[in-house]
Structure 1
Amino acid sequence: MADQLPQTIRDALQERAREALSHWAVLTDEPILLKYRENAVFRITLADGPLAALRLHRPGYHDETSLRSELDLMAALRRGGLDVPAPVATSDGENLVFLPANRKFPEQYADVVSWIDGTALGQTGTPLPQSAETQAEIFFRTGQEMATMHDLADAWDPPEHFRRPAWDGEGLLGERPLWGRFWDCPGLSGDEASSLSALRDDLRDRLANAQRHGLDYGLIHADLVRENIFLTGSKDDIAFIDFDDAGYGFRLFDLATALLKNRQEPAYPAIENAVVTGYRSRRALSDAALQSLPLFMVLRSLTYIGWLAERPEIPNAPERLSRYVAESLELARKLDIAA
């Protein structure tokens, strides 16, 4: 998406990145814009040699406390042996830098995290390049690492100031969901808005019922899409990047996120089985809990409608909105929800 930005925006982001980098010891090479979504992410080279990632955080998306908490979580997972980015301190020993408003940007924060040397599992909308057998192996290891992440999160005692968003019933289906009001957004037809509003009411009842029967809840990544699952090393070990949406939530939400955009893969049944089997090889996941996975596939799908509604500048937004709505209603019908 970064290469689709107008040159004027790219130039402004480069200037802002150079401003941020004045706080870190880096080489003089220009920062290279890699991604522009929630954050503007640049590849940089630290003064002592290694690559790193500079993140200019989207203004207003997370406050200072939440951003520092994200860095605390990543550092804790890294100490526990999970392959995730770690904070890189400034020359003054700070992990987070405040950037004041100027003519082109409101006030915002920046940080630098260590580089994960590998390749993304894939890109959304593009068929996975690996063989079906290799896909199963990769998703098995993804399930294992996801379970390890949840174990480490449960064992960690967060600092007193720790605060991250909650992907709970309110965060998913309340009046102000974390990623926007999916049933009440520009671009929906009247029929679509009515169907999504009715679906929301039904899902709240279903989620409440599932919770009464017990659901694992705690710190989650919340965005384990293909682009955030990295294959590293000669044996394609697994690393997780981009904890921008990490917070408290149902552990099944992480599984659903890793699976949702792979539904059209020919090997999808094997992919789903591999994630679940890999997860269960390291952490308990009961059959009763697993019955709620289709519910969380719907909940995950709906978040993309709300996300897109608040970002009309995204390329091909109307077409993507139509696709997201159709996907959500299709998944809902499989739950026997009248949509």
Structure 2
Amino acid sequence: MSTAKEEEIGLQTLQDVAIRTLALCYPPHVQGQVTLLCHSENATYRIDTPSGHRYALRVHKHGYHQRPDIESELDWLSALQASGIRVPRPVIGLDGQYVQSAEIGAGKELNLVLFNWVGGAEPTADVDVSAFMRLGAITAKLHQHSRQWQRPADFRRIVWNHQSMVGPEGHWGNWRNAVNLDSSAFGLIEEVLQRVESELASYGQDAKRYGLIHADLRLANLLVDHEHTHVIDFDDCGFGWYMHDLASALSFYEHHDRLNDWIEHWLAGYAAVSRLTAYDIAMIPTFIIQRRIQLLAWTGTHADTQQVRNLGANWAKQSVDLCRQYLNDGLAQVALR
């Protein structure tokens, strides 16, 4: 998932770039058939080699991340991998670089990264709640690493604060343009955001609460392989509140009947690795509603995508209902086990 401020490039052009870059920039053993896997923000292709190996080639969306930002993402992935956390591993190009660039005309370039294939199945809303316990534990390990890791001096990633998430010029657009959102709900959402902003200002951004996070740790970015859970798609990783990673794990399903079960299992997994304070837990509803409104904005800038169409006509109304629950202190009432 990414910003609204970018230029669309046709799928045929993206596929041509993927095929050409693979042939010119990578060694023979990774060459193979190129098949589109998904095109939500970036375009991701599966590479099937004659020897039976697979790779994933990510073509970055034009105008979102610059090359140094992508290199910083890969720096974190490398450090996480070295610490034993299961994340994608990039494949080095013939030039000794992990990030490749391809010209597409008019002085424009696309950035590409080839990753080793990560096996597993994507969980759904009906996933066994134990998967959320595993996710909580993995997230805690990510946060521990983030707090302890000495980042390179030139490390740079996107910033996720209240304004960049849900402000009028937010990275994912303006929530007022959300699909199927009735303008009669604007006042309610504005009231919610005023409270959210106040709560976050009190909570603060000290190093225990705010740092380098995945920022899009939702079900679609997990791959479960038996007892192992892999975290993928660090494309939105940046600087934000650590508890946002819990909110993002619930993305698009914040209205689900099993929400509290998911949260409680996530918390149990997290607590097995790292400590959360009562204040952190009390802030969960605030982070959940902020994320939901951020996703409202995202639907507005992605109205023509199948993912938004699949949400259905009632998703915006469910979002408004969640806003009312939040103001009435009825959203996500959970406690640490």
Same-fold call, TM > 0.5?
yes
| 1:67 counterpart residue number | 70
- For residues 222-261 of structure 1, the aligned pairs below 5 Å read 222-232=215-225, 235-261=226-252
What is the deviation of 1:230? 1.0
| CA contact 2:181–2:317 (8 Å) conserved in 1 | no
Report the Cα distance in structure 1 between the residues aligned to 2:304 and 2:328, rounded to whole angstroms. Answer: 32
SS in structure 2 of the partner of residue 219 of structure 1: strand
Q: For the residues of structure 2 that align with 1:93 and 1:111, how far apart are their CA atoms?
A: 12
Structure 2 unmatched runs, 5+:
1-8, 330-337
1:271-293 deviation line (CA, Å, top 9, x unaligned): 22110011011011012210110
Residue 213 of structure 1 deviates from its aligned partner by 10
Quote the residue 1:24 is aligned against.
Answer: 26
Of stretches 22-31 and 65-74 in structure 1, the one that deviates more from structure 2 is: 22-31
Aligned equivalents of 1:283, 1:317: Cα separation in 2: 35
Q: Does the Cα contact within 8 Å between 2:173 and 2:300 map onto a contact in 1?
A: yes
Cα distance change of structure 1 residues 322 and 265 upon mapping to structure 2, 3 Å threshold: closer
What percentage of residue pairs aligned between the two structures are identical? 26
In structure 2, relative to structure 1, the CA distance for the partners of 1:259 and 1:320 (3 Å cut) is closer
CA distance in 2, matches of 1:316, 1:289: 31
What does residue 330 of structure 1 align with? Answer: 321
Range with bigger deviation, 285-294 or 258-267: 258-267
Aligned to 1:221: 214
**Alpha-carbon shift at residue 294 of structure 1 (Å):** 0.6
- 2:205–2:241 Cα contact (<8 Å) kept: no
318 and 33 in structure 1: CA distance in 2 versus 1, 3 angstrom threshold: closer
Give 1:42's match in structure 2, choosing from 41, 45, 49.
45
Secondary structure (helix, strand or coil) at the match of 1:119 reads coil
Q: What's the counterpart of residue 140 of structure 1?
A: 133
Aligned equivalent of 1:150 = 143
Q: How far apart are 1:9 and its partner, in Å?
A: 5.0
Provide, for residues 107-153 of structure 1, a one-character-per-residue CA deviation record: whole Å limited to 9, x for no partner: 2111112211111112xxxx42x5xxxx1221111111110111112
Partner of 1:3: none
Q: Distance in 2 between matches of 1:226 and 1:239?
A: 11
Report if the CA contact (8 A) 1:25-1:47 is conserved. Answer: no
Q: Could you tell me whether the CA contact under 8 Å between 2:158 and 2:237 is conserved in 1?
A: yes
Distance 1:295 1:15 in 2: 43
| AA matched with 1:276 | L
TM-superposed deviation, 1:165: 1.1
Following superposition of structure 1 onto structure 2, how do residues 150-169 of structure 1 map, counting pairs within 5 Å? Answer: 150-169=143-162
For residues 20 and 328 of structure 2, the distance between their equivalents in structure 1, rounded to whole angstroms, comes to: 51
Structure of higher RCO (CA pairs closer than 8 Å, 6+ residues apart): 2
Residue 318 of structure 1, CA deviation: 7.1
Match of 1:4 in 2: none
1:288 aligns with 2:289: no
Q: What is the Cα-based RMSD across aligned positions, in Å?
A: 2.8
Alignment CA distance shift 1:94-1:259 (3 Å): same
**Alignment-derived partner of residue 5 in structure 1:** none
Find the partner of 2:295 among 287, 304, 315.
304
- Deviation of 1:186 (Å): 7.6
Alpha-carbon contact 1:301-1:324 (below 8 Å) kept = no
Could you tell me which runs of 5 or more consecutive residues in structure 1 were left unpaired when the two chains were aligned: 1-7
Distance 1:176 1:68, change over 3 A: same
Question: Displacement of 1:267 after TM fit?
Answer: 4.0
What is the TM-score with the length of structure 2 in the denominator? 0.85
Deviations 1:12-50 (A, max 9, x none): 432221112121124543211101011100111469864
The Cα offsets for residues 147-184 of structure 1, whole Å up to 9 and x where unpaired, read as: 01111121211111111111122322444222222135
Structure 2 counterpart of 1:115, from 117, 127, 136: 117
State the 1:245 CA deviation. Answer: 0.6
Q: Label 1:322 to 1:200 Cα distance change in 2 as closer, same or farther (>3 A).
A: farther
2-structure distance, mates of 1:138, 1:99 = 39
1:60 aligned partner, one-letter code: G
1:94-109 matched pairs, under 5 angstroms: 94-102=97-105, 106-109=108-111
